[in-house]
Structure 1
Amino acid sequence: MDLAAVEKAFRDNFVERGELGASLSIWQGGEEVLNLADGWCEREHQKEWTAATMVPFYSATKALASATLLMLLEENGLGPEDLVCRVWAEFPNKNATFGELLSHQCGLAALDQKVSVFEYEAVIAAIEAQEPNWDLGDGHGYHPRTFGFIVEEPVRLLSGKRLGEVFRERIAEPLGLELWIGLPESEFGRVATLYPGKTDKSDLESGFYKAFNQQGTLVRQAFSSPRGLQGVHEMNTPKAWQSGLPAMGGVGTAQGLAQFYQAAIGVLPFFSDEVLEWMKTPLVTGDDRILMTQTRFSCGFQLDPLDGAGKKVRHNYGSGMHAFGHPGAGGSHAFGDPDSGISYAYIMNQMDLSVLPGAKSSAIIEALSES
């Protein structure tokens, strides 16, 4: 592994790609082999960014939430093949399995009812009343916001606790991870300020952003239901940090994310063999109804899609054929590769306009894959 090339790619982000503050953590074989942190926590350059700096990492949270549910399913004698309604009787898609729920196949990406992301019971009631956006078995589509609620409700029914509590007690604390889904007040002073991505004309001309910016499209509805925390400025508030939203509310360090993936790929002995298999085994692939590009999902994690010859069409998760992880809106990204034993995490506060990994993380992954 050419760590010098990886470090150069990290430094280039500040020189060439407008990075403000960022952390990079790479692990292999149960040990951290690279930890880089540089820049500033805010544009006014008042507080230096360090390896201890934390930031909201949006949808990278979905991986942590999925692992939490998978652990509870196994402990209760259940798995991806079991019907969701065995645990959640009012789940609207009576034939859907937990595997289909976790791989974005249930057609509950957008809600007809206008409810707030902060009103848990109201969102659950809206989900239970929702007519699926598409029929089960008719493809898949990323659930950017509702995913957190449809994963948390089974966790609450199985454990009697909020998902963020279970994650801290059962995963983060035993592994010593500085990751939270619901940040305590004692950690507020470590959180950097997020800044929105700059709009580029080429981005706005893509099919996804055309649909995202058009009123009434399923894409726009999916990214705006439930309502709230729409703007980046709202994510810079204690209310957002404490919200404990499993789809987008995670806060922590790059080191914590990378170390989590050491456990998720089985390098650090923590998850059972069964749960490890569920995390990495692809369940669905093809054109994504929401992201409007090819995606590939296991139980809550993304993998790079493959072409007809079995080759990767993207390398968001490096060169490893079995690598999996999850990005966060704007540029945060983390994954693990069970073949090489490498895990990776990148967090930053100057966001890009992207829902999949952007140029900053991709440049580092390319250097990592080539080294």
Structure 2
Amino acid sequence: MTSASTITASAGPDLSEEDFARIRSVFAEHVQAGAGGMAFCVYREGRPLLQCYGGMSAPEDLEQAEGTAAQEWDQATLAVLFSGTKGIMAVIAAILMERGLLDPQAPVCSYWSEFAAAGKERVTVAQVLSHTVGLVYPDPAPAPENRYDNRLVAQILAAQEPLWEPGTLVAYHAITYGYLVTELFFRVTGKQPGELVQELLAEPYGLDLFLGLPEAEDHRLATIFRAQNYAISTFLTDPERRKIVERMYGDTLLAGEDPFNSVPLRRAQMAAGGGIGSADAMAKLYSLLVSPDEPIVSADTLQLSTTTFSEGVDAINDRPLRFGLGFELADPLGTYGPVAPAFGHSGAGGGLHGAWPGKNLGFSLLINEMQSEDRDRRAKDLLAALARIF
């Protein structure tokens, strides 16, 4: 349990004291029930509307990740975003589309010629971004020492035959998504994804976001840990497809030791789940996407990026899915709260980052205690409380 005394919160002038107290109470309940810490931030048009921080960056009885120290969670605390990173990649894809460097309807091989192998010559950029390409794991699997070599693994995927005809099924490409978009971005910009995060997002908008964390920032990083009952793919009961899941994730979420606390992961530019940032940065990012004044991309580009390109039950995980061009969209599970339209991207263990465009709001729940989706109510309760206000 975490002491309530570690909770700090503030609200902007647009939030009444009563509404602020209601959300703070929900936040405090979850902090006190957990063993770690978290932050919940809401921004409107680039300005903070609500900021809540609570708990510790690591439990006292947990060995700290190298270069870090347990401290009260505050505005400066950073954490691994897991698949929240994919939402950042979706923003970068939207920027590249707006600049005319990337066409979602173009064949991938028009940018990346080697990708045409094994019958993939008609696979489109949109099919990669919307998780319908059928390359959910690299075959053969790279050696452990090569798992952070983006270009090497992309080469394996380029030569590979899809598990199904691209575009006919949707299934979450948990790890391979990062290798695929990294290579696509490199082919059209000549830059690695960490460079693009800094040049297109972090620097121009003042965002605490990294894909490849500098050593000087290590001390701000929360230590990730799994709740005792943590499990992945909680919708899945089929044992044969469970084997595919194990092959998909390999030694990431299923490892005996969590590699997301490792120094190599921090320095790597893993676009599927290695991003590191603060809750304020993610909430501000999404609020700027839906801002009516000087948004990150035009309304037309955002509309295209958040149009449904794939939806259905995950062909591997049995979970309902709905994707735009890299963004998760509001789904039957209410992932983004009782509000539509909504978009963003969730992260393993309970993190959630997104926007309610009709309300010009961006929000972020950042955590370090990973909980199973079928048990975790942190994001659900906080977004339900927020929806009662806006």
Q: Which moved more, 1:150-159 or 1:2-11?
A: 2-11
2:46/2:285 contact within 8 Å kept? no
Report what 2:382 is aligned to.
Answer: 364
**Corresponding residue to 1:114 among 141, 157, 168:** 141
Measure, in 2, the Cα distance between the counterparts of 1:204 and 1:246.
Answer: 20
Report what 1:155 is aligned to.
Answer: 185
Report what 2:26 is aligned to.
Answer: 9
1:280/1:322 contact within 8 Å kept? no
**Corresponding residue to 2:72 among 2, 24, 48:** 48
The alignment of Structure 1 onto Structure 2 pairs a total of residues equal to 356
Report what 1:66 is aligned to.
Answer: 90
**Corresponding residue to 2:163 among 124, 133, 136:** 133
Opposite residue 192 of structure 1, the aligned amino acid is: A
Partner secondary structure for residue 339 of structure 1: helix
Measure, in 2, the Cα distance between the counterparts of 1:102 and 1:205.
Answer: 21
Deviation at 1:321, TM superposition (A): 1.6
Deviations 1:89-122 (A, max 9, x none): 1114221211111000100112221204212232
Opposite residue 6 of structure 1, the aligned amino acid is: I
Report what 2:7 is aligned to.
Answer: none
Measure, in 2, the Cα distance between the counterparts of 1:257 and 1:139.
Answer: 30
Deviation at 1:242, TM superposition (A): 1.0
1:107/1:133 contact within 8 Å kept? yes
Deviations 1:280-300 (A, max 9, x none): 211111111133111100000
Opposite residue 243 of structure 2, the aligned amino acid is: T
Opposite residue 337 of structure 1, the aligned amino acid is: W
What stretches of structure 2 of length at least 5 have no aligned partner?
Answer: 1-14, 62-69
1:80/1:278 contact within 8 Å kept? no
Report what 1:36 is aligned to.
Answer: 52
Report what 1:193 is aligned to.
Answer: 223
Report what 2:310 is aligned to.
Answer: 284
Backbone CA RMSD of aligned residues: 2.2
Q: Which moved more, 1:254-263 or 1:81-90?
A: 81-90
Superposition pairs for residues 89-238 of structure 1, below 5 Å? 89-92=113-116, 93-115=120-142, 116-199=146-229, 206-208=234-236, 210-211=237-238, 217-224=243-250, 230-231=254-255, 233-238=258-263
2:84/2:275 contact within 8 Å kept? yes
Deviation at 1:230, TM superposition (A): 4.8
Partner secondary structure for residue 173 of structure 1: helix
Report what 1:308 is aligned to.
Answer: none
1:166–1:314 distance in 2 versus 1, CA, 3 Å: same
Report what 1:240 is aligned to.
Answer: 265
Opposite residue 112 of structure 1, the aligned amino acid is: D
How many percent identity over aligned positions? 28
Deviations 1:183-209 (A, max 9, x none): 111111100111113226xx689542x
What stretches of structure 1 of length at least 5 have no aligned partner?
Answer: 306-312
Opposite residue 125 of structure 2, the aligned amino acid is: F
Partner secondary structure for residue 301 of structure 2: helix
Opposite residue 282 of structure 2, the aligned amino acid is: L
TM-score by length of 1: 0.89
Q: Which moved more, 1:359-368 or 1:261-270?
A: 261-270
Deviation at 1:357, TM superposition (A): 9.4
**Corresponding residue to 2:279 among 248, 251, 254:** 254
Report what 2:288 is aligned to.
Answer: 263
Deviation at 1:314, TM superposition (A): 2.2
Deviation at 1:214, TM superposition (A): 5.9
Measure, in 2, the Cα distance between the counterparts of 1:357 and 1:336.
Answer: 23
